[in-house]
Chain A
Amino acid sequence: MKNEKTPEISRRSFLKAAAGAAALSGLTLPKAVHAGGGKQLASLIDLSLCDGCSDREAPACVSACRTINKDTIPPIAEPIPVPWPRKTVEDWSRKREVKNRLTPYNFIYVHQAEIDWNGQKKTVYVPRRCMHCDNPACATICPFSANHKQTNGAVVIDQDLCFGGAKCKTVCPWEIPQRQSGVGIYLHVLPTLMGNGVMYKCDLCNGRLGKGALPGCVEACPRKAILIGPRADIFALAEERATQMKGYIYGKKENGGTSTLYVSPVSFDLINKTMRKKPGQPDMPTGVERRMAGTDPLGKLVLAAPALGIAAGAAGAFKWLSHRKAQMKEGGKDNG
């Protein structure tokens, strides 16, 4: 089980990283950064800084993430049980090298968007990974609570509890979690009838955060395009940068709010147009609704149901008691 400790290093690391970023971008840090913050963290991905590490074989964030998670998935069962009746098996163990999409072995990739911006061709690089939503349906309706939002905001799947039913992927508007069949607890229960592996995705390097280290992508980014820090500070910084560059923010309201904010000088509607939604390659529509919000009204009534039942029961019982009292009174008169 991953621990939920708030990283001691978050503020210091954030300051260091943000200072480097500020030096690059010419921005100054907001005062809020120095004023202390809460336990909740957020990350910022500045698309004006990301160059996709085009001089490297793979983006530094991708390589770092892969190195950190190279042993995350245990050996795969051989052969992988074929589920019944729908015979879906997802095995990425022989395609571990894939880096241009999300897979159980690749939690982050960088999309390259070619955009016509103010009459000029512009290339925007967009790192894609889990957004770590504020109220993540992937976690709240996981039937085994294998996926959970930590107090620091990281949404973490416990691979020892996950059955790989892929419900989290279905309810995620970006379909981020990816399944690897042939691993996990389901192998020890009813492998052909229940479960189908384990879901994997970015956990914001929650284990490293607990030890006071930065997430791999943040630490590795040579241009400090990815930052992490106290939520309020990151949100303030995102606003400031967006204002400075007359740009746009993504992730603040999407899916009910997230703890990952993208800042871009180019509109996200244009960026999204360059994305064709494919398995493991989510698109980026603005204003994505939190579909689970549609269940909130009835959920609130569920919480009120005990009071409704007690009130109705008490009313019925009082009515009966007063009726009984009147009956006894009447009986007493008759007898007297």
Chain B
Amino acid sequence: MAEKIREEKGLIVRHRIVELIEHWAIALSGLLLLLSGFFQMPTANRYYFTSLPGLSWSGDFFVSLNVHYAASILFIAAALFHLTYHGMRGDMGMIPQKGDIKTSITVIKSFFGKGEEPPFHKYLPEQRLAYAGMAFIIAMLILSGLIKTFKNLYAPDMSLTVVLAATWVHNIFFALFVLAFLGHIAAILLKPNRPMVRGILTGSVRLDYARHRHPLWLAEMEMELANEIPAPMEQAPAPAVLLEDPQPAEKVDVIPAPDQETDPSGKKEQS
């Protein structure tokens, strides 16, 4: 079981080290790609970025292209690693599920004080939707970027139709990537989501937060433990029967809410 409850520290492992590396490799290289891609527009000289300390290189298109290429190597390799690794493991926890759009609306309303948010699995429904959207944007950026790179290296006289399509897809999805990034940052700034920031920085979130907000995730873990199913099924969405079965539901109920937590040591330590 990948997730580990550390009762003594009041933490639960939400992301394994490999997932943290994937996330930050894509995030940091993605930011560098945004910056160097912006300089390629061309903007550095016009907007005086070249005058800023440490950014004098930004006006040299060959230097910024090399920076763009270097960041792309990490970005593409990390994205393809993610797809292959989790695809082969059958990790489906972030794949959107039926009803996610409707539930997301309920959740977003709850952020503004309208109604209660429903209990969550490991990921929120809007996280699953955002993941699918971001994955699509990244896939289009990579595909169009590879065509452009191939053209730069081997085929400057490639079909103009293909070049134009790749260029405009790259430019449009560049803008969408900026919007998606801003949306991602906005989401983690929302108060109910803030405890998850710790998760993507350290791998663990507070156990009381998880019990309060992600009871279905904990229930899945319990069920797996009971069935002695090794990882990574904990990332898969809980089967519908779990929600209807009174027995697992009871297990959810026995997880004390943060303000009711009296004897954490009474909970079974999971390794």
User: Could you list which residues of chain A lie within 8 angstroms of chain B, going by C-beta atoms?
Assistant: 1, 4, 83, 85-86, 134-137, 139-141, 143-145, 148-151, 153, 165-167, 170-171, 291-292, 294-296, 298-303, 305-306, 308-310, 312-314, 316-318, 320-321, 324, 327-328, 331
Query: In the complex, how many angstroms separate the beta carbon of A174 from the nearest chain B beta carbon?
Result: 16
Contacts of B87 in A (CB 8 A): 313, 317
* Docked CA distance A134–B70 (Å): 25
Question: Known: A302-B72, A316-B18, A317-B88. Contact between A331 and B228, CB under 8 A?
Answer: yes
Query: In the complex, how many angstroms separate the beta carbon of A294 from the nearest chain B beta carbon?
Result: 6
Check A299 against B85 for contact (C-beta < 8 Å): no
Q: Which residue of B lies closest to A311 (CB)?
A: B84
Q: Does B150 contact A (CB under 8 A)?
A: yes
Residue of B77, B142, B167 ringed by the most chain A CB atoms within 10 A: B77
Check B69 against A295 for contact (C-beta < 8 Å): yes
Question: Known: A302-B72, A302-B73, A305-B72. Contact between A141 and B65, CB under 8 A?
Answer: yes
Q: Does B136 contact A (CB under 8 A)?
A: no
Q: Which of B110-169 contact A (CB under 8 A)?
A: 142, 145-146, 149-153, 156-157, 160, 163-164, 166-168
Q: Does B99 contact A (CB under 8 A)?
A: no
Q: Does B202 contact A (CB under 8 A)?
A: no
What are 11 A-B contacts with C-beta separation under 8 Å?
A85-B46, A86-B46, A143-B41, A143-B171, A165-B46, A298-B66, A302-B149, A305-B73, A306-B142, A314-B84, A316-B85
Check B84 against A309 for contact (C-beta < 8 Å): yes
Contacts of A309 in B (CB 8 A): 76-84
Selected contact of A302 from candidates B42, B76, B160, B163, CB within 8 Å: B76
Q: Which residue of B lies closest to A167 (CB)?
A: B42
Check A148 against B163 for contact (C-beta < 8 Å): yes
* Docked CA distance A115–B255 (Å): 93
Check A313 against B72 for contact (C-beta < 8 Å): no
Q: Which residue of B lies closest to A139 (CB)?
A: B156
Q: Which residue of A lies closest to B67 (CB)?
A: A298
Residue of B66, B82, B153 ringed by the most chain A CB atoms within 10 A: B153
Query: In the complex, how many angstroms separate the beta carbon of A316 from the nearest chain B beta carbon?
Result: 5
Contacts of A305 in B (CB 8 A): 72-77, 80
Question: Known: A303-B149, A313-B88, A316-B81. Contact between A170 and B76, CB under 8 A?
Answer: no
